[in-house]
Structure 1
Amino acid sequence: MELINRLPFPAMAFRQFDAEGNLDCIVSMRGTFLHVQDDMLDIAPQQESFQWEDAYEGDPHASVMLRQSDLTPDKPGTDVTFLGNAHAPDGKPATSWQSSLRVGSVSKTVEVHGERYWQPKIREKWAGFSAKEPKRVIKDWELTQAQPTDMVPLCWSKAFGGSIPGTGDPEKDTPVDVERRNPLGCGIVNLDMAHDVGPVPAPQITHVGQSLDWRERYEPQGFGFVSPWWRSRQQYAGTYDEAWLNERHPLLPRDFDPRFWQCAHPDLIATPHLTGDEAYQLDHLHPRFAQARGRLPGLTFGVHCQREDRDDWQVLKLDGVHFDWRSKETVMLTWRVRFPLPDAGETTLTLTRVRVKATPEASVASPASQATEDA
């Protein structure tokens, strides 16, 4: 199997077993673009390399995910993610404000806050008549006022979640329990914590208008990548039990759901896929533009599959729109297609830009029958 890539973007063709053990071909491509205010994305002169594995800021279990592997086989929808900071309106320090992200019909708004903490309220408790002095214990937690700021990192560490106090045992090398929806977060406290623990960071990224109660457990809010073992993805991974080991291995479990491959917050997954020409708007996520507006490039790509007994087209789907505005105004788009290819043999795959025919039958025809090369 040979892939001829006529595009300026890195791409790879590889094969993967389907649920029945038959081999499919996956063609995956990553394009790097730059934001242009009130205009279409511009192709970046320097393209990021093909992403061979998930990338993290540090330890995968203790830091944020920065990139998803391009060897992901397929996604039912388009992920929309953002890495960067929330900026206060007009650049003036504020205790809180709203930031939002919209691409096409997919949108999400969060409320961001300056630094704030859970402050323990202490009371003295006598253990009995023989006690020489009272024991100091936590009787309640009080949320401090948020400090004014002009910027808040939109990082999962600033959202609800993290370690659960009182769990784990260092002597037995037992790890602490974590909030499975966001193991990196903050804000979980209880009355069993040591009285001298001091102030504990409270979530700075929340639902709009959400008031915090330390007794409650909240849905973590954010725009970043979600790691495979977090609850929103792990729930789709399927069952890996003895029956799977004896009857299915090395195939995926029968109850595996391809939604596992989606790496965005559930609110930021477009199903069906985005078409690739949508407008986008980011509010208070850019240091200079209160509303950063633009449009996806409207490009359509296809793979021409040729060999002695085969001649057909497969159209790639846009399955990722990833804004990385930590230092530059980079937008990464990922495209992918999966199709049966039991025998790779002498197959030649040509990846190129295509034009999809607008015919009355297009709504029911397969993508392979609609594409022609766009010269």
Structure 2
Amino acid sequence: MWTLANRTPFAAFSGFDRDKDGRSYWLVWAKATFRMRYQRTCLFERKQVDLFRAPVWREGVGVSDLVADLDIGLPKVRPDVVVTGHAYRPATTAIDEPYTVSASIGEWSKSLSVQPAMIWSDRLQPQLQSGDDPVFLGFSQTFGGTDQASDTGLAQEHPGNPLGLGYWKTEAAAKGKALPRLYAQGAEPLKQWDGSAEPAAFCAIPKSWPQRAQHSGTYDQNWMRRKSPLLPDDLHEDYWQSVSVDQQLDHAPPEGLTVTLTNMLPDGGDASLRQFTTELPTLQFESMTRFKSRWQETPMTLQTVHLFPDDGLLTLSYCGAMPLMSAANDVLVERSELTLRGQSGFRVRPEDTECFDGLGMEV
């Protein structure tokens, strides 16, 4: 009972969850990992990245960039695109000049402006720094931050991004501090120490930040009396989206789309490498569950496209949610079988074809 037979070469997991109306679901999750190749189709990666069963932080929990939210949960309304990597200055761009970093999948695209490394001088003017390391594409490098030296004696956080750079409450606190490196495309970089900008990054957003928390619903005394431990009535499905709106796809990408990464890999002086292109793999899963002694199929929908340019990897996460109506029906779930019905947009090394043996697939 409650088992999953994973007949694919990809990572998979299953379990139960309940929505805000108390409906119970039997969920099957899958995650596929591929190696990106320049101007070629991706390769199946034998060492698969497991499903994230907890949020993944770059360093400390809550005090660094959120690399990825958990993969295990209720399905999202729209697929997310997450990018974990760095911006690399093109060899032909001077150290005091900005440049653009971007990602695109088919018609979807997002670009950020990368500014030179600057600090506020003693006269509170932007002052160029000599170092120019690759810039991590997270909220720690865009506008925001926490002023620990506030006049109030309490740390003052930027409400939308406590991790960032450039948010100060006093002139004394700003002196010698770094300016933001990442801005939304077309946004003006800071000119004054008390200026502001919209935080812009490619990383995931923590659930506690207002961008997501505004959709989490109301947890008050009325909720305590009527709904706890269920989710509140006014929770919105957008709460499950882990990235900003401009990184949410309208629908699952069709076959044959091109992934383009601009200035996310060092070019080594080769201008052609500034735009890295590959094909986005496409998978069709079949999830069958034996429930009430009958087999039922549950559609598997794309949840997250996660790009790891530094590691050369790409992952695709999927979820299938079978409604059970009542939690009392949990015991009627016997088992599920996950199989690969179709695929395109990737190749398999000869030594890895055994991973697909018995699947009835041409690789």
Do Structure 1 and Structure 2 share a fold, with TM-score over 0.5?
yes
Q: 1:236 aligns with which of 215, 219, 222?
A: 215
Identity %: 23
Q: 1:251 aligns with which of 217, 230, 237?
A: 230
Q: Normalising to structure 2: TM-score of the pair?
A: 0.84
CA contact 2:100–2:112 (8 Å) conserved in 1: yes
Q: Which residue of 1 aligns with 2:65?
A: 64
CA contact 1:118–1:187 (8 Å) conserved in 2: no
- Which secondary structure state, in structure 2, belongs to the residue aligned with residue 53 of structure 1? coil
Whether 1:354 aligns to 2:341 is yes
1:24-173 maps to which residues of 2 (within 5 A)?
24-90=25-91, 93-95=94-96, 96-121=98-123, 141-145=124-128, 149=132, 151-164=134-147, 167=150
1:145-294 maps to which residues of 2 (within 5 A)?
145=128, 149=132, 151-164=134-147, 167=150, 176-190=155-169, 192-194=170-172, 198-211=175-188, 212-214=190-192, 215-275=194-254, 277-288=256-267, 289-294=273-278
CA contact 1:92–1:150 (8 Å) conserved in 2: no
CA contact 1:93–1:149 (8 Å) conserved in 2: no
Aligned CA distance change for structure 1 residues 62 and 200 (closer, same or farther; 3 Å): same
1:290-309 maps to which residues of 2 (within 5 A)?
290-309=274-293
Q: Which residue of 1 aligns with 2:347?
A: none
1:90-131 Cα deviation digits (max 9, x unpaired): 36553311111111232111110221122343xxxxxxxxxx
How many pairs does the alignment contain?
A: 333
CA RMSD in angstroms comes to 2.5
Give the deviation of 1:57 after TM superposition.
Answer: 2.3
- Which secondary structure state, in structure 2, belongs to the residue aligned with residue 226 of structure 1? coil
Larger Rg: 1
Aligned CA distance change for structure 1 residues 18 and 267 (closer, same or farther; 3 Å): same
Give the deviation of 1:216 after TM superposition.
Answer: 3.3
Aligned CA distance change for structure 1 residues 57 and 92 (closer, same or farther; 3 Å): same
* Residues in 1 aligned to 2:151 and 2:47: alpha-carbon distance in whole angstroms: 46
- Which secondary structure state, in structure 1, belongs to the residue aligned with residue 64 of structure 2? coil
CA contact 2:21–2:233 (8 Å) conserved in 1: no
Q: Which residue of 1 aligns with 2:350?
A: none
1:192-247 Cα deviation digits (max 9, x unpaired): 3438x632111111123432243433211111121111221111111111111111
- Which secondary structure state, in structure 1, belongs to the residue aligned with residue 222 of structure 2? helix
* Residues in 2 aligned to 1:257 and 1:8: alpha-carbon distance in whole angstroms: 34
Unaligned stretches of 5+ in structure 1? 122-140, 357-372
CA contact 2:289–2:295 (8 Å) conserved in 1: yes
Q: Which residue of 2 aligns with 1:334?
A: 317
* Residues in 1 aligned to 2:91 and 2:126: alpha-carbon distance in whole angstroms: 27
1:244-291 Cα deviation digits (max 9, x unpaired): 111111111111112112112321111233346532101111124211
* Residues in 2 aligned to 1:38 and 1:305: alpha-carbon distance in whole angstroms: 39
* Residues in 2 aligned to 1:296 and 1:253: alpha-carbon distance in whole angstroms: 37
Q: Normalising to structure 1: TM-score of the pair?
A: 0.81
